Each structure stands twice: as structure tokens, then as C-alpha cells.
Structure 1
């Protein structure tokens, strides 16, 4: 039984123009440790996105990676410095699903397509008899793995900005790049 730990991070830039926020480029990344040894890194980006979308996509990519590399009974811990992401999957998503993927206040759930894709991967991890945990880590601190994921996401953001291309985990999964310029 192996222990997988993914440090995930996202980075994005938005600018204020005419009183509104405009989306710009972003990057996502993860650093994988298996049994406390660095195994691999992965990153990508999108020319038009938000920070939350990139944070979520890093989690999505890490779960896809885990499902490819793991065996039944393995353990996976997703470490993120985003309280928003951790809370979605540890506090809110279960009730959203029960209510037909609606929030209790009736407002739409942002990034729902990506959240539902992650929720499905979580079910796949469970059906593989693997244990999944989420862990909140402090961003921009002394955690070398979180800092490395942050650096990789920043580099991927710059590449997406310069190239104008979206880089997914593997093939185009349709989860990125569908946003308008303006933040809702």
C-alpha cells in the first residue's frame, strides 16, 4: 500500500478595467510525493481564467494522475493552500449534490463543471478502495512542496499568457477556457 501526497496550486492574474475585473492568464500545478519521496511534477495553464479555476484544476489533475498510478488500497492526500477548494469537497459539495447542484441561497455554483468532474473522480477513487484526504496547508510559507507547486503554477501562467494556449492534464478535457473576459 503506497501513500501518495499531492501539493496542488493555482495562479492567475486579473486586471481592473473600466470598473470591472478582466480575466487574464493562469496556471495550475502539482508536486507528487510517493511514500514521502518526490516522484513527479505536472503543470499547465490557460490564457483566460481565474485563480479558483486554476486551484480546482490542479486538484482535478492530481486526482486523474492518482487514478492512473495507484493500486487498490493506496492512500492519497491532496494538499492545497485554498480554503475555498478544501471547503467545497469537505463541507459543501455533498449538500449541493443532494439539492441538484444548487446552493442553499439559490445562487449558481461557480466552476460547477469542474467541481462535478472532481466529485466524480472522488467517487472513482473510493470505488478503487483507496482512501482520500484533503489537507489545508499554509501558502507562501516554509513548505517546500507547496512553494514548488506555486512556482510551477506561476511559470505555467506566464507561458499561457505568452502563448495564448491552454495546457490540460493530458488531452483536452473541456474543463478550461470557456470563460468570457469579464468576471461574473
Structure 2
């Protein structure tokens, strides 16, 4: 049994213009520790996005990575500084699914494509008899791994802003339209 700990983060810039917020570039990243030892990381960016999309994508990418590498009985721990993202998957998604992917007030859910994609990956992890845990970490504090993953996400955001291109997404085309690349 191997413990995979993923520190995930997203970063995005929103610009206020004429009283409205406009999307700008964003980045996401994860750092993988296997049994407490740094193993690898992956990051990417998108020229027009939101912080929540990037936070969710980091979780999605880490779960994809885990499914490719893990064996039955392994443990996956997702460490995020976004309580909103953790609450989606630990408190709200089950009810949303029962209501046809609607909130309790009947309103639509933002970022539903990526939320449903993560939900499907969670089912795959469960089917592999692996244990999934979400851990809330304090952002921008003394947590070395959260600080490192934040820097990767910010750097990816800056790359996406400069290039105007989506970079480093899943192996196959996905809903964000890019490809993946492991960084050296």
C-alpha cells in the first residue's frame, strides 16, 4: 500500500472593467509525494479562466495521475487550500447529483463540467478499492508544499498570460482543450 499525497493549487487573475469582472490568465499545479517523499509535479495554464476552475483542475489532474500510477488499496490524499473545492466533493456533489446536477434551490452549478469529471474520477478511485481523503491546508502560510505548489500555479498562469495558449493538460484532449507535459 502506497500513500500518494497531492498538494494542489490554482491561481488566476480577474480584471474589473466597467463594474464587471473579466477572466484573465490562470494556472494550476500539483506536487506528488509518495510515502512522504517528493516524486513529481505537473502544472499548466489557461489564458481565460477563473481561480475556481484552476483549483478544480489541479484536483482533476492529480486524480488522473493517481489512477494511472496506483494499485488497489493505495491511498490518495488531496491537500488543497480551497475549502470551497473540498466542500464540493465532501458535502455537496452527492446531493447535486441526486437533483440532476442542480443546487438545492434549483439553480445551476458553476464549473459543472470539471466537477462532474472529478466526480467520475472519484468513482474510479473507489472502484479500485483505494482510499480517498481530502485535507484542507492553510494557504500562503508556513506549509512548504503549499507554497511550492502555489509558485508553480502562479508561474503557469504567467506563462499562459504571456503565450495566450493553454498548456500542459491531460494526455488526451479534455474539456480545457490542451495536452499534458511533465516538467523537469
TM-score relative to the length of structure 2: 0.94
Partners of 1:148 and 1:8 in 2: how far apart? 10
Question: Residue 11 of structure 1 contacts residue 51 of structure 1 at CA under 8 Å; is this kept in 2?
Answer: yes
Moved more, 164-173 or 99-108: 164-173
1:18-29 alignment to 2 at 5 Å? 18-29=18-29
Partners of 2:2 and 2:38 in 1: how far apart? 13
Q: 1:182 is matched with which residue? A: none
Partners of 2:112 and 2:56 in 1: how far apart? 10
Partners of 2:111 and 2:100 in 1: how far apart? 15
Question: Residue 10 of structure 1 contacts residue 153 of structure 1 at CA under 8 Å; is this kept in 2?
Answer: yes
Q: 1:170 is matched with which residue? A: 171
Q: Displacement, 1:62?
A: 0.1
User: What 5-or-longer segments of structure 1 have no aligned partner?
Assistant: 178-184
TM-score relative to the length of structure 1: 0.94
Q: 2:182 is matched with which residue? A: none
Q: Deviations over 1:35-94 (max 9, x none)?
A: 000000100000000000000000000000000010111000000000110000000000
Partners of 1:23 and 1:176 in 2: how far apart? 17
Q: 1:88 to 1:176 in 2, by over 3 A?
A: farther
RCO comparison, higher one (Cα < 8 Å, 6+): 1
Deviating runs (4+, > 6 A) in structure 1? none
Question: Residue 47 of structure 1 contacts residue 165 of structure 1 at CA under 8 Å; is this kept in 2?
Answer: yes
Partners of 2:101 and 2:128 in 1: how far apart? 25
**Is 1:108 paired with 2:108?**
yes
Question: Residue 5 of structure 1 contacts residue 79 of structure 1 at CA under 8 Å; is this kept in 2?
Answer: yes
Partners of 2:106 and 2:95 in 1: how far apart? 13
Q: Displacement, 1:176?
A: 5.9
1:30-45 alignment to 2 at 5 Å? 30-45=30-45
